Amino acid sequence: MSEQSTSLRASASGPQDMTPSEAFVETLAANGVTDMFGIMGSAFMDAMDIFAPAGIRLIPVVHEQGAGHMADGYARVSGRHGVVIGQNGPGISNCVTAIAAAYWAHSPVVIVTPEAGTMGIGLGGFQEANQLPMFQEFTKYQGHVTHPARMAEFTARCFDRAQAEMGPTQLNIPRDYFYGKVKVEIPQPRRLDRGAGGEQSLDDAAALIAQAKFPVIISGGGVVMADAIDECKALAERLGAPVVNSYLHNDSFPANHPLWCGPLGYQGSKAAMKLLSRADVVIALGSRLGPFGTLPQHGMDYWPKGAKIIQIDADHKMLGLVKKISVGICGDAKAAAIALTQRLEGRTLACDGSRGDRADQIATEKAAWEKELDDWTHERDAYSLDMIEEQKHEKPFSGGQYLHPRQVLRELEKAMPEDVMVSTDIGNINSVANSYLRFNKPRSFFAAMSWGNCGYAFPTIIGAKVAAPHRPAVSYAGDGAWGMSLMETMTCVRHNIPVTAVVFHNRQWGAEKKNQVDFYNRRFVAGELDNQSFAAIARAMGAEGITVDRLEDVGPALKRAIDMQMNEGKTTIIEIMCTRELGDPFRRDALSKPVRMLDKYKDYV
């Protein structure tokens, strides 16, 4: 671990007299903090008062969960800390879901949680809560300031740990500890040099790779976090190996590279799955090989059960946790990829003679998958066909027609600009988007990962836009999830953070409703949504609103919205009227056909 001076702004150097608020703010400045997300409050007002002269902007939000997601998006696109702060008690409890999402995304988010004053703790005072247990499952480190003189120490440690351990940390500060006089030295940031991993493990991995006849690389989120795209490409090109993206890390390898095969996981690429199934050696680079991302899909149990698995992850606890592995390397994805490529230089590999054949297989499978996507205009299960037939003569309130989600997703994909950032919410149509979203640059795709909470996408893309205002920013959400975050449209309008949100308006909680179709004989309970026009609601909040009900308008609407975003500073909500057809269920693995024992429920099977 080494000290790292920030090039953004100088903080106080050497021991100096200051207030704890000044120590807190100076430590933020030392860590390069320029933006924070939250709602202002008396609990940290003394520190907040000096944010501006320290070069820190507090971006007020509508709801603190949105602030947490914004900090997550900010961190994921920038690689820097995302910071969220709020009023003690309810302002802090509102952040729990967002911090959990950041935890599963390995985002270096620091949540600052001012607490009730020390003389009132335990008395049941106003907005008093024990805030550390709220986050203990979703943080890598929790720092509780035990004395005003330790303010800078704990603040610095939270920032260091968030980067070192790749996840959220919590800084808990009794609200009376912002006041007083202390003599402190502001610590400089310390950043961890992870290294490539153990020499023996790297040697063993290289030996396995040298013997592989059909190696396949899984490029995971660790490749993005380590800025290791070029190193992953170099390793893949040395081997002539197909490269697949791990689930919801569609930006972990460029889609315009001939070795790219697409993402795994729910509604992923059939080409990726078929090629992975042929592997005799799998190199999982920067991936924990999460269980949900390797489930059977498209009727294929594609995981190569006889293959040797080399897993590379910066967290040793992930090695071999989900899948049986032959070699585990605890190291940085970039450094490990370099070390493996160096070990393969000048060696004759078992896969060298079949490079051309693998290239042909990659091209053939990708072409077949692209053709299938072009031809896959709508879902083909019985329920979806019934819904399509039912809605043939039904008109949306806008007067046009309901559109097939797959065709909509294909048109959106075609209209995306090169440098776009996309966030997706959880839900049926959003998850089907995994078939269509592909990126040529890292730090471009953000999803709620294994946490899978609704209301994630829109605030996350707002945070990403704050970090990268020069890049187009687009979020996807269904009409159910959109209801959990649409109020942050006001944040965009109030604070000139222009983004584009696509809302799939199909009047249902689609992901869960699909389970009622497949397991509960179409007995629908609480799955229907009767909505007003989301475009009209957007206009009422000061944004632009577009309703799309013709397929030929999908691409032009997105292009127009992005043009307004980038050239006029406008936020646009595009609601697309979709049929009620549904893609495959998420959780076939977690549901069973119902069994009823009591007579009064005997028909509910």
For 9-56, write each residue's pLDDT tens digit: 567 788 999 999 999 999 999 999 999 999 999 999 999 999 999 999
What's the Rg (C-alpha) of the chain?
25
Average pLDDT for 224-231? 98
Q: Do the domains at 199-371 and 376-590 have one common CATH topology?
A: yes
User: Using an 8 Å Cβ cutoff, are 281 and 344 in contact?
Assistant: no
Q: Mean pLDDT for the chain?
A: 96
- Rounded Cα distance, 464 and 73, in Å: 5
Query: Buried b / exposed e across 427-455, counting CB within 10 Å, b at 16+?
Result: bbbbbbbbbbbbbbbbbbbbbbbbbbbbb
For 66-95, write each residue's pLDDT tens digit: 999 999 999 999 999 999 999 999 999 999
User: Using an 8 Å Cβ cutoff, are 46 and 174 in contact?
Assistant: no
Q: On the CB side of 178, how many CA atoms lie within 13 Å of its CA? A: 24
- Helices 96-104 and 64-78 pack at an angle, to 10 degrees, of 20
pLDDT the model gives residue 5: 45
- Residue 305: C-alpha distances to residues 121, 276, 281, 423 (Å): 55, 11, 10, 32
User: Using an 8 Å Cβ cutoff, are 112 and 133 in contact?
Assistant: no
Tokens of 468: 């990268």
3-state secondary structure labels for all residues of 205-257: HHHHHHHCCCEEEEECHHHHHCCCHHHHHHHHHHHCCCEEECCCCCCCCCCCC
Average pLDDT for 243-260? 98
- What letter does residue 42 receive in the DSSP assignment? G
- Rounded Cα distance, 134 and 156, in Å: 22
Question: What is the CATH code of the structural domain delimited by 199-371?
Answer: 3.40.50.1220
Query: Buried b / exposed e across 245-277, counting CB within 10 Å, b at 16+?
Result: bbbbbbbbbbbeeebbbbbbbbbbbbbbbbbbe
> How confident is residue 414, by pLDDT bands cut at 50, 70 and 90?
very high
- Rounded Cα distance, 255 and 358, in Å: 17
pLDDT the model gives residue 4: 58
Average pLDDT for 109-138? 93
Q: On the CB side of 451, how many CA atoms lie within 13 Å of its CA? A: 24
Q: Output the pTM of the full model.
A: 0.96
Q: Is the pLDDT confidence value at 442 over 80?
A: yes
User: Using an 8 Å Cβ cutoff, are 259 and 269 in contact?
Assistant: no
What do you get for the CA distance between the two ends of the chain, in Å?
A: 60
pLDDT the model gives residue 535: 98
| Phi and psi at residue 215, to the nearest 5° | -75, 145
pLDDT the model gives residue 281: 99
pLDDT the model gives residue 1: 61
Average pLDDT for 510-527? 92
Pairing type for strands 281-285 and 260-263 reads unpaired
Q: On the CB side of 68, how many CA atoms lie within 13 Å of its CA? A: 31
- Rounded Cα distance, 41 and 39, in Å: 6
- What letter does residue 333 receive in the DSSP assignment? H
Q: Does domain 2-191 have CATH number 3.40.50.970?
A: yes
Query: Buried b / exposed e across 564-603, counting CB within 10 Å, b at 16+?
Result: bbbeeebbbbbbbbbbbbbbbbbeeeeeeeeeeeeeeeee
Q: Where are the domains of the chain?
A: 2-191, 199-371, 376-590
Question: What is the CATH code of the structural domain delimited by 376-590?
Answer: 3.40.50.970
Residue that wins the pLDDT comparison between 6 and 594: 594
487: left (phi over 0), alpha (psi -120 to 50) or beta: alpha
pLDDT the model gives residue 3: 59
Average pLDDT for 469-487? 98
Average pLDDT for 332-352? 98
- Rounded Cα distance, 492 and 371, in Å: 39
**Is 181 buried (19+), middle (13-18) or exposed (0-12) by CB count in 10 A?**
exposed
No. of helices (H) and no. of strands (E), the chain: 22, 22
- Dihedral angle sign, alpha carbons of residues 73, 74, 80, 85: negative
